[in-house]
């Protein structure tokens, strides 16, 4: 957070700071059970994509949908943390925000499952 007396970082310093914030975000994500489980699956699925995929486009797609699940989960975690920071009281808009974040994860998982299923069928059928 910047105060009135500090200038925002620029150039390479801004890039280095942004990288550090991203690493902190990944560390925070790994404390969430869903993100940890999905990360463990990703550590298996990403190398498997090189075996399953037939050509660079298919490999890229298989890896991309796995990464998309992780991105959606991190965004969902961020939404939940922000809502909980604002208030722990039950509110229809807080529920809606959390439900929409959860739906984004579900859609990413469905897309990932569909792409991987199609690749498996293509490879073995």
Among candidate residues 37, 73, 80, 89, the one labeled active-site is 73
CA distances to 28, 44, 87 from 47, in Å: 24, 6, 41
Cα–Cα dist 59/52, whole Å = 7
Yes or no: say if 72 and 108 are a contact pair by the CB < 8 Å rule: yes
- Give catalytic status of residue 73 as yes or no: yes
- Cα 81 to Cα 94: distance, rounded to the nearest angstrom: 11
Active site residues: 73
């Amino acid at each position: 957070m910047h105060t009135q007396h500090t200038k925002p970082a620029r150039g390479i310093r801004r890039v280095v700071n942004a990288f550090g914030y991203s690493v902190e975000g990944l560390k925070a994500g790994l404390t969430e059970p869903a993100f940890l489980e999905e990360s463990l699956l990703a550590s298996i699925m990403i190398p498997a994509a090189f075996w399953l995929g037939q050509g660079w486009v298919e490999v890229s797609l298989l890896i991309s949908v796995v990464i998309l699940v992780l991105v959606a989960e991190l965004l969902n975690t961020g939404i939940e943390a922000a809502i909980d920071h604002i208030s722990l009281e039950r509110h229809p808009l807080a529920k809606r925000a959390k439900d929409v974040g959860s739906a984004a994860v579900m859609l990413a998982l469905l897309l990932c499952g569909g792409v991987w299923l199609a690749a498996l069928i293509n490879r073995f059928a």
